[in-house]
Amino acid sequence: MRADTLALATQTCEARTANALRDAAQAGPRGGFVRLREEAALAQARAVDRQLAQGVRAGRLQGAPLAHKDMFFRNGELSECGSRILADHRSMQTATVLQRFDAAGAIDLGALHMAEFAMSPTGFNAHLGHGRNAWSDAHVSGGSSSGSGIAVARGLVAGALGSDTGGSVRIPAAANGVTGIKPTQHAISVRGVMPLSPSLDCVGVLARTAQDAAALLQVIWAADPHDPHCLATGTRDFESAIEQPLTHDVSIAVPAFDDDAPVSDEVRAALMRVADALACCGATIRRVAVPDLREAGALATLVLGAEAASVHAKWLRERRGDYGAQVLRRLERGLLYPATRYVDALRLRAILMSGFVERYLSGAQALLLPTLPYAVPTIEETLDGDADEIERRFGNFSYWTRGINYLGLPSISVPAGKSGNGMPVGVQLIGRPWSEDGLLRVAHQLQRSTDWHLRSIISQPLGTA
């Protein structure tokens, strides 16, 4: 059921919202929530009902139950960013993206689990505990937008906002079997969003399907006069663009993986299944070399480390003991990076992006890559070893996503079946800057011809509760 058919539902928006809040409360931490907005969400729902009773469309997302990573600020409400340092913090502004969802009639059910200050690709949080995968409590949820992946996969919300600085939307999307899109760098306003690395940070969305992701992205895609870094202009009709069938002039670049590529056999097999499905949809498959993302990933780590250390400099001096050990270790290392290396990393960015696009996307609409290099691991597996070993494992986990943030390219992760351990597998489609409509089109047409995205715990399209 789409959002514009909600008026035909037998229940009021208030009743559906009450049910959604009840389900989220009953799920507890396993549902991905850290806080519910019971009174505020019900007030939003009643406002939608009043508009519908007057025959007024409440907005294109009218009544859609959403929830968001706990780093999107709302005036007067708690925003703790998964941290002890911001415990009890109440913002004095509302994030632009939340304002746009509110204006579209969406219902904000509450705040979702996240890694401390968005600094873990597995969903680890020293203060809140681990994010628990929607499919298995024993496995990682992926991070840092852990709760966003969990809540969408469990059917508690129709969509969720996340942030993606090195894969933090795409990784939990892949780990939990949902769709997650990271747009072009600076496409979406970050006003009212806790920063980690301003040069790399992106606001993205997670949803059950590419169709729902397109609807959500369309609402938040617009220029923001209050955010000088936001580069979006005008509006984009993603929902219409995705309905165009794939034809032979739509070319998908697929790497010819060798034994040395950092990807497991079962993930490689899943990627080939997707390539075959896209060919059946009408796309042309074009073989390319395996991208080497080591340099881009290393430069992303340098930029993130230096900028995060700057963001946290005051707290590192005054509240060092309130950080979790893993986050503190990464932040303090960022203080040691030479300014010349940081400047070089920024200078090389456009050069490397241009070379990457020319080599892997020349004549192609999208490049098909893994999202995760191997099957979703157990929480225990990610904690085995000393601090250096754990951090190395973190780096491997985000190998295929981190460098894409450095290059500033848009990417969408979509479900691609399951691995031998029963956990979801995801693959990502990478595009040129500002090619979100093309990526969503490919993802949507793939999902029209396959059912990997439907194999969820509870299937809930956008606009239902």
Cβ burial of 220 (10 Å; 0-12, 13-18, 19+) is: buried
In a domain, 50, yes or no: no
For residue 144, whether the previous peptide bond is cis, meaning omega lies within 30 degrees of 0, is yes
Q: Which of 148, 168, 189, 411 is catalytic?
A: 168
The candidate with the shortest Cα–Cα distance to 311, out of 119, 123, 172, 79, is: 119
Catalytic residue among 83, 120, 141, 144: 144
- Number of domains into which the chain is organized: 1
Rg over CA atoms, the chain? 21
Of 69, 146, 163, 398, which is the active-site residue?
Answer: 69
Distance separating alpha carbons of residues 236 and 256, to the nearest angstrom: 34
CATH of the domain at 200: 3.90.1300.10
The answer to whether residue 95 is domain-embedded is no
Helices (H) and strands (E) counted in the chain, each on its own, are 16, 11
Q: What is the pTM of this model?
A: 0.95
Q: Is residue 94 part of a domain?
A: no
Residue 19 lies in a domain: no
220, amino acid identity: I
- The answer to whether residue 241 sits within a structural domain is yes
- Average confidence (pLDDT) per 10 residues, the chain, 465 residues: 42 96 95 98 97 90 97 98 97 98 98 98 96 96 98 96 98 98 98 98 97 98 96 92 96 93 95 98 97 97 98 98 96 97 98 98 97 97 85 88 98 97 97 98 98 71 42
The 3-state secondary structure of 139-169, one letter per residue: EECCCCCHHHHHHHHCCCCCEEEEECCCCCC
Does residue 22 lie within any of the structural domains? Answer: no
**176 within some domain:** yes
**Residue reference for tokens 């480390």:** 305
Does 182 participate in catalysis according to the annotation? no
Q: What are phi and psi of 140, to 5 degrees?
A: -70, 155
171 in Cβ contact with 371 (< 8 Å): yes
Whether the Cβ atoms of residue 428 and residue 392 lie closer than 8 Å to each other: no
Q: Does 65 reside within a domain?
A: no
Opening angle at CA 385, ends 381 and 390, nearest 5: 75
- Contact criterion met (CB below 8 Å) for 144 and 119: yes
Instruction: Report the pLDDT value the prediction gives residue 456, as an integer from 0 to 100.
Output: 62
CB-based contacts of 336, cutoff 8 Å, min separation 6: none
Domain extent, residue 219, equals 115-454
